[in-house]
């Protein structure tokens, strides 16, 4: 390692600007690279690499101190899986340069405060853990760390603050203890006992209404799905019982004990948790996902128990690795597989469990779902002899427990499994699942298989699916996705509109214009009226039927054909679907034509919303209509509804962004004018300049308000319809004396939960309306519970 | 939520991200540049860097728009799929374009769908500067893609042997 050249100060007052500006950024890159790579696979030992690096950095401190400080603070925040490597490094630096150690601690505290101010709570936890491990490296004095934790725990005494705020401070304290519990307890046992007892009483009194909404399974067997703080508390209690002996964490600083214990320690400045503000957004509570225990791999190393601190540390680190490398799937897979376990842990099982924990996380996975599918495929490539078997075992277990799995999680399981199979020629031992064939088709297992087969078909083709499943599974096989054209059947000759349909068909094939179509449709009587007393532009269901059936049939060849048809005859669609009833009927007819091809229905609905043939509220009403009751629990229906809500949300954001941009333009214009003007204020000309922009802003403002109102209305419609549907079911069950909890009911109530969870940020805005208008105390407690659980999430 | 007006958060994110974590090799531009592109290299690269359109290659001739829509829909909402066609026969010749509404969705397709299977074939995605009429046709002499002109192997999903082999 060569020493870098110092900047040349000998030239009197003539800085070599050009040479100097290119070097520092190169050097900074090199420093960053050195620091980031320490700890990776190397020919030398970690200890000698750390020692070498400490030497290099010490030498660079005079010139690059602030850069080194910044890089170290950043790795503390963003590479938590390498926590102990970097605390050791800081420890060595502190031993060589006490002032640097002090400045680093100060920089960390500043960074921690900044994170808390901007709601970066997950990263703040990493910083707290880093600070606590610095106690082990003799950088920070134990009593001052205990004092900081005392301030953290006292947040639980604050009044009128959201529980999630207290939760975070408690989590930051508890989750640092695996690293530093031993040291703190040795130095300050009385204070620690007091803190732990305060912790216990807080955990006892905090409310846990939100838990059922976040559990992947509603059953406690074979593994209870624990609330995250409860689980962590059990783990810490066990750690304490074990006299704080923790053997999993790699602690490079132990090798340097003789050097480090000579170092002078710093005291953490008194840390006051920043107060709660209106803008504070704390992390949502979580439920710990567990699917494996030591019995699942009887021949391999023993899996640490669910209440062992080792389990906590392993899971934390694996989650951190995914968070660091989610964009680079090969690197991510390699990093996961090289997690140091020394063959003492069944790493493949931990990895699979952590990945499914993220995939099934409620409300949403941390990363896009498809990432997990591809990551698992990469892992299978790297460990072809072992990982596929663990994955198969996991799939089998998930299938066995479908009866109590949350509907949203089942959706994700369906998507993952079908996509995974499509990468492996759809090879699966379907016969192993023959038990589902004897069950009612609405039960979770047969339902799951049906939906999986449908998704598999979408990724291939109908005959392929028939070929890959045993004949006995034909009852679960998807329908051949063909279109149903009612006017194509000669037996339907007598249907009203049949002849017009034929006429239309010929006209469209002859490239008729919109006007020609209108005139052909004029001949269609309106079954809702005695006489056509207007131009026929009011709601005429038969016109819609004939036109939409015929057009969709002619365009049935592919999505592109159908999209072209929608575009070409947009005018006709808009006119026929002008009224709300018209929109609803268009959707009904689309369904009638394409009920065998849910994928086609979904893309048509999407196109019709985007081209404003129908609106979002119409789609919502259609989904809850009696015509769709038969398909109500099918996956594709909910994909359509959530896609519709997302489009609405994106639309509002887009206009909002436009408004903000225009406002910014106006502000810039003012600024330019203000700085240009000297004494003469030509008010008239400046007003004229502002005019168009101000007008635009006013128009956009109106647009935003109208969009937001449409968005709110959409959610209200959805909630209203859910309440009606569920209430009907509950009343029917009560009067009939039958059990409320049918498969349909479980599905429906979890779909309601899903609306809340998937769009929680938007829905938070409507809490008052929801409470006063819809989710009132008179509501059946089954339905009200969902609302209350949702409220509890950010309470 | 208040995403707007958070200079603190943006500063935290941009000022302190390590290059090791900025690595996004799957979403980077490849070496390929369309030789038929009208404009400078610089223009092409500028378009590639903000494009929402992907070229998808190594498809089976039998892969449908519906299958492509299903697979690529996993990374976000698709604006349009344009199937690649044999210039002479006007039938599918094993490639297509997928256009997303948002670049971020296209990036995720590059990260997670590129290099995985569709119709049992490993498909390849790459940034495209944007569809223009005419680009949906193969550029091989026989009408299909160039790669199928000179291919020596037998590929059942892509018309069997390469065109020059077939003519022997």
Question: Model pTM?
Answer: 0.93
Determine whether the interchain pair B16/A32 forms a contact, defined as Cβ–Cβ distance below 8 Å: no
Determine whether the interchain pair A328/B26 forms a contact, defined as Cβ–Cβ distance below 8 Å: yes
Searching chain B, which residue's CA lies closest to the CA of residue A764?
B1
DSSP state of B6: -
Size of interface A-B (CB pairs under 8 A): 115
Q: Which residues of A touch B19 (CB under 8 A)?
A: 29, 32-33, 36
What pLDDT is stored for residue A606 in this prediction? Answer: 98
> pLDDT digit string (tens) for A743-764?
999 999 999 999 999 999 999 9
Instruction: Compute the distance between CA of residue A780 and CA of residue A774 in angstroms, rounded to an integer.
Output: 11
Average pLDDT over residues A712-731: 97
Instruction: Compute the distance between CA of residue A698 and CA of residue A681 in angstroms, rounded to an integer.
Output: 25
pLDDT tier, A84 (very low <50, low <70, confident <90, very high otherwise): very high
Q: Which domains does chain A have, with CATH numbers?
A: 25-261 (1.25.40.180), 306-476 (1.25.40.180), 490-529+536-614 (1.25.40.180), 644-670+699-792 (1.25.40.180)
Q: Which residues of A touch B9 (CB under 8 A)?
A: 118-120
Tokens linked to A731: 């009343």
Per the listing, tokens 């998937």 go with A758
Nearest to A92 by CA among A132, A58, A41, A130: A58
Backbone angles phi, psi at A274, to 5 degrees: -60, 145
Determine whether the interchain pair B16/A74 forms a contact, defined as Cβ–Cβ distance below 8 Å: yes
Q: Which residues of B touch A77 (CB under 8 A)?
A: 16
Determine whether the interchain pair A374/B12 forms a contact, defined as Cβ–Cβ distance below 8 Å: no
DSSP state of A512: -
CB A649 within 8 A of CB A759: yes
**pLDDT for residue A773 is more than 90:** yes
**Residue B83 forms contact with A (CB below 8 Å):** yes
**Residue B164 forms contact with A (CB below 8 Å):** no
pLDDT tier, A258 (very low <50, low <70, confident <90, very high otherwise): very high
**From the candidates B13, B23, B66, B78, which should be mutated to test the interface with A, based on the most A CB atoms within 10 A?**
B66
Q: Enumerate residues 6+ apart whose C-beta is below 8 A from B144.
A: B86, B87, B93, B94, B138, B159, B163
Mean pLDDT of chain A: 92
Q: Which of B6, B25, B74 sits opposite A370 (nearest CB)?
A: B74
What pLDDT is stored for residue A26 in this prediction? Answer: 85
Handedness of CA A162, A309, A134, A73 (dihedral sign): negative
Cα radius of gyration rounded to whole Å, chain A: 32
Determine whether the interchain pair B108/A558 forms a contact, defined as Cβ–Cβ distance below 8 Å: no
What pLDDT is stored for residue A722 in this prediction? Answer: 97
**pLDDT for residue A455 is more than 70:** yes
> pLDDT digit string (tens) for A401-434?
999 999 999 999 999 999 999 999 999 999 999 9
Instruction: Compute the distance between CA of residue A559 and CA of residue B2 in angstroms, rounded to an integer.
Output: 39
Nearest to A130 by CA among A170, A195, A93, A179: A179
Determine whether the interchain pair A32/B113 forms a contact, defined as Cβ–Cβ distance below 8 Å: no
> pLDDT digit string (tens) for A154-177?
999 999 999 999 999 999 999 999
**Residue B119 forms contact with A (CB below 8 Å):** yes
Q: Which residues of B touch A764 (CB under 8 A)?
A: 1
What pLDDT is stored for residue A18 in this prediction? Answer: 46
Q: Which of A327, A455, A606 sits opposite B111 (nearest CB)?
A: A327
Distances (CA, A) of A489 to A257, A484, A502: 87, 9, 11
Determine whether the interchain pair B66/A458 forms a contact, defined as Cβ–Cβ distance below 8 Å: yes
Domain spans of chain B, in order of start: 38-135
> pLDDT digit string (tens) for A538-586?
789 999 999 999 999 999 999 999 999 999 999 999 999 999 999 999 9
Searching chain A, which residue's CA lies closest to the CA of residue B107?
A327
CB A179 within 8 A of CB A135: no
**pLDDT for residue A328 is more than 70:** yes
DSSP codes of every residue in A66-123: HHHHHHHHHHHHH-GGGHHHHHHHHHHHHHH-HHHHHHHHHHHHHHHHHHHHTT-HHH
Instruction: Compute the distance between CA of residue A794 and CA of residue A546 in angstroms, rounded to an integer.
Output: 50
Searching chain A, which residue's CA lies closest to the CA of residue B60?
A460
> pLDDT digit string (tens) for A679-688?
455 555 555 5
**Residue B67 forms contact with A (CB below 8 Å):** yes
Q: Which of A281, A327, A460 sits opposite B67 (nearest CB)?
A: A460
Determine whether the interchain pair B81/A559 forms a contact, defined as Cβ–Cβ distance below 8 Å: yes
Tell me the percentage of chain B whose pLDDT exceeds 70: 90
Q: Which of B1, B6, B112 sits opposite A371 (nearest CB)?
A: B112
Determine whether the interchain pair A370/B23 forms a contact, defined as Cβ–Cβ distance below 8 Å: no
Partner residues linked to B160 by β-bridges: B155
What pLDDT is stored for residue A689 in this prediction? Answer: 62
CB A478 within 8 A of CB A454: yes
Determine whether the interchain pair A458/B113 forms a contact, defined as Cβ–Cβ distance below 8 Å: no
Domain with residues B38-135, CATH architecture: 2-Layer Sandwich (3.30)
Longest dimension (CA), chain A: 103
DSSP codes of every residue in B76-141: S-EEEEEEEE-TTT-SEEEEEEEEESSHHHHHHHHHHTTTSEETTEE-EEEEES---TTTTB--ST
What pLDDT is stored for residue A675 in this prediction? Answer: 78
**pLDDT for residue A366 is more than 70:** yes
Provide the angle, in degrees to the nearest 10, between the axes of the packed helices A98-117 and A83-96. Answer: 140
Determine whether the interchain pair B26/A117 forms a contact, defined as Cβ–Cβ distance below 8 Å: no
Average pLDDT over residues B32-51: 96
Q: What is the distance in angstroms between the Cα of B17 and the nearest Cα belonging to chain A?
A: 7
Determine whether the interchain pair A71/B18 forms a contact, defined as Cβ–Cβ distance below 8 Å: yes
Q: Enumerate residues 6+ apart whose C-beta is below 8 A from A654.
A: none
pLDDT tier, B5 (very low <50, low <70, confident <90, very high otherwise): very low
Tell me the percentage of chain B whose pLDDT exceeds 90: 84
pLDDT tier, B22 (very low <50, low <70, confident <90, very high otherwise): confident
Q: Enumerate residues 6+ apart whose C-beta is below 8 A from A520.
A: A500, A503, A504, A507, A512
What pLDDT is stored for residue A413 in this prediction? Answer: 98
**From the candidates B21, B77, B119, which should be mutated to test the interface with A, based on the most A CB atoms within 10 A?**
B21
Determine whether the interchain pair A78/B21 forms a contact, defined as Cβ–Cβ distance below 8 Å: yes
**Residue B19 forms contact with A (CB below 8 Å):** yes
pLDDT tier, A510 (very low <50, low <70, confident <90, very high otherwise): very high
Q: What is the distance in angstroms between the Cα of B11 and the nearest Cα belonging to chain A?
A: 10
First-to-final CA distance of chain A? 54
Poorest-confidence range of A45-49, A245-249, A526-530, B144-148?
A: A526-530
Instruction: Compute the distance between CA of residue A47 and CA of residue A593 in angstroms, rounded to an integer.
Output: 70
Q: Enumerate residues 6+ apart whose C-beta is below 8 A from B141.
A: B149, B163
Instruction: Compute the distance between CA of residue A362 and CA of residue A432 in angstroms, rounded to an integer.
Output: 29
pLDDT tier, A493 (very low <50, low <70, confident <90, very high otherwise): confident
Torsion of CA A607, A556, A491, A572, to 10 degrees: 40
Instruction: Compute the distance between CA of residue A592 and CA of residue A492 in angstroms, rounded to an integer.
Output: 15
**Residue B112 forms contact with A (CB below 8 Å):** yes
What pLDDT is stored for residue A1 in this prediction? Answer: 43
**pLDDT for residue A6 is more than 80:** no
């Amino acid at each position: 390692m060569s020493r870098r050249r110092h900047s040349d100060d000998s030239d009197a007052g003539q800085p070599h600007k050009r040479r100097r500006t290119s070097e520092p950024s190169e050097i900074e890159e090199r420093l960053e690279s050195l620091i980031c790579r320490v700890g990776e696979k190397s020919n030398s030992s970690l200890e000698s690499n750390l020692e070498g690096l400490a030497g290099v950095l010490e030498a660079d401190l005079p010139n690059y101190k602030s850069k080194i400080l910044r890089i170290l603070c950043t790795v503390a925040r963003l590479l938590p899986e390498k926590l102990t490597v970097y605390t050791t490094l800081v420890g060595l630096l502190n031993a060589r340069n006490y002032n640097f150690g002090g400045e680093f601690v100060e920089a960390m505290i500043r960074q921690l405060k900044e994170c808390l101010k901007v709601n970066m709570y997950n990263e703040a936890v990493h910083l707290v853990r880093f600070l606590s491990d610095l106690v082990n490296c003799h950088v920070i004095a134990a009593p001052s760390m205990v004092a900081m934790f005392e301030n953290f725990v006292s947040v639980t005494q604050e009044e009128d603050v959201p529980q999630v705020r207290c939760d975070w401070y408690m989590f930051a304290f508890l989750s640092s203890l695996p690293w530093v519990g031993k040291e703190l307890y040795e130095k300050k046992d009385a204070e620690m006992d007091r803190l732990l007892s305060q912790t216990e009483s807080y955990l006892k009194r905090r409310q846990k209404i939100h838990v059922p909404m976040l559990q992947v399974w509603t059953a406690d067997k074979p593994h209870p799905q624990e609330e995250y703080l409860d689980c962590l508390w059990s783990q810490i209690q066990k750690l304490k019982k074990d006299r704080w002996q923790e053997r999993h964490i790699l602690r490079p600083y132990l090798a340097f004990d003789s050097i480090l214990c000579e170092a002078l320690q710093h005291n953490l400045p008194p840390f006051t948790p920043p107060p709660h503000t209106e803008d504070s957004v704390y992390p949502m509570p979580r439920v710990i996902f567990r699917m494996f225990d030591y019995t699942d791999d009887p021949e391999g190393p023993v899996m640490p128990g669910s209440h062992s601190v080792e389990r906590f540390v392993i899971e934390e680190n694996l989650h951190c690795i995914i968070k660091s490398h989610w964009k680079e799937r090969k690197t991510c897979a390699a990093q996961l597989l090289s997690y140091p376990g020394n063959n003492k842990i069944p790493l493949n099982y931990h990895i699979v469990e952590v990945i499914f924990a993220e995939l099934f996380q409620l409300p949403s996975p941390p990363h896009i779902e498809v990432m997990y599918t591809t990551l698992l495929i990469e892992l299978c490539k790297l460990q072809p002899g072992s990982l596929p078997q663990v994955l198969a075992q996991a799939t089998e277990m998930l299938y066995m427990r479908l009866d109590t799995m949350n509907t949203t999680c089942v959706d994700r399981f369906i998507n993952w499994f079908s996509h995974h199979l499509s990468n492996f020629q759809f090879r699966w031992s379907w016969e192993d699942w023959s038990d589902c064939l004897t069950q009612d088709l609405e039960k979770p297992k047969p339902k799951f298989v049906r939906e999986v087969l449908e998704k598999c078909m979408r990724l291939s083709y109908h005959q392929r699916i028939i070929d890959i499943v045993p004949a006995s599974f034909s009852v679960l096989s998807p329908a051949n996705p063909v279109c149903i054209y009612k006017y194509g059947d000669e037996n339907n000759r007598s249907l009203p509109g049949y002849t017009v349909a034929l006429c239309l068909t010929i006209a469209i094939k002859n490239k008729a214009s919109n006007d020609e179509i209108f005139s052909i449709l004029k001949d269609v009587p309106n079954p809702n009226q005695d006489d056509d007393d207007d131009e026929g532009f009011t709601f005429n269901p038969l016109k819609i039927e004939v036109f939409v059936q015929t057009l969709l049939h002619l365009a049935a060849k592919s999505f592109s054909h159908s999209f072209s048809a929608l575009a070409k005859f947009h005018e006709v669609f808009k006119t026929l679907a002008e009224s709300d009833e018209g929109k609803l009927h268009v959707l009904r007819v689309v369904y009638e034509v394409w009920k065998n091809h849910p994928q086609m229905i979904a893309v048509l609905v999407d196109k019709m919303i985007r081209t404003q043939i129908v609106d979002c509220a119409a789609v919502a009403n259609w989904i809850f209509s009696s015509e769709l009751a038969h398909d109500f629990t099918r996956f594709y229906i909910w994909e359509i509804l959530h896609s519709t809500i997302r489009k609405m949300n994106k639309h509002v954001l887009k206009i909002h962004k436009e408004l903000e941009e225009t406002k910014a333009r106006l502000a810039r214009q003012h600024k330019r004018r203000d700085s240009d003007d000297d004494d003469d204020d030509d008010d008239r000309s400046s007003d004229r300049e502002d005019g168009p922009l101000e007008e635009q802003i006013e128009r956009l403002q109106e647009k935003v308000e109208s969009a937001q109102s449409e968005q709110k209305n959409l959610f209200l419609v959805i909630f209203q319809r859910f309440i009606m549907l569920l209430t009907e079911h509950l009343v029917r069950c009560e009067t009939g004396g039958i059990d409320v909890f049918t498969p349909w009911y479980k599905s429906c109530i979890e779909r309601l939960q899903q609306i809340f969870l998937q769009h929680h940020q938007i829905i938070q805005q409507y809490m008052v309306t929801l409470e006063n208008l819809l989710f009132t105390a008179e509501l059946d407690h089954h339905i009200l519970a969902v609302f209350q659980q949702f409220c509890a999430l950010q309470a | 939520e208040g995403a707007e007006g958070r200079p603190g958060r943006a500063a935290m994110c941009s000022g302190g991200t390590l290059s090791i974590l900025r690595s996004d090799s799957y979403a980077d531009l490849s070496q390929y540049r369309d030789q038929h592109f009208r404009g400078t290299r610089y223009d092409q690269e500028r378009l590639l860097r903000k494009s929402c359109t992907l070229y998808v290659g190594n498809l089976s001739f039998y892969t449908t728009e519906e299958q492509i829509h299903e697979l690529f829909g996993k990374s976000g909402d698709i604006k349009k799929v344009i199937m690649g066609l044999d210039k002479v026969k006007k039938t599918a010749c094993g490639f297509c374009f997928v256009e997303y509404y948002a670049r971020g969705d296209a990036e995720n397709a590059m990260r997670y769908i590129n290099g995985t299977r569709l119709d049992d074939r490993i498909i390849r995605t790459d940034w495209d500067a944007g569809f223009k009429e005419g680009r949906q046709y193969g550029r091989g002499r026989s009408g299909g893609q160039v790669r199928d002109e000179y291919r020596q192997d037998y590929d059942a999903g892509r018309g069997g042997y390469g065109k020059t082999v077939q003519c022997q």
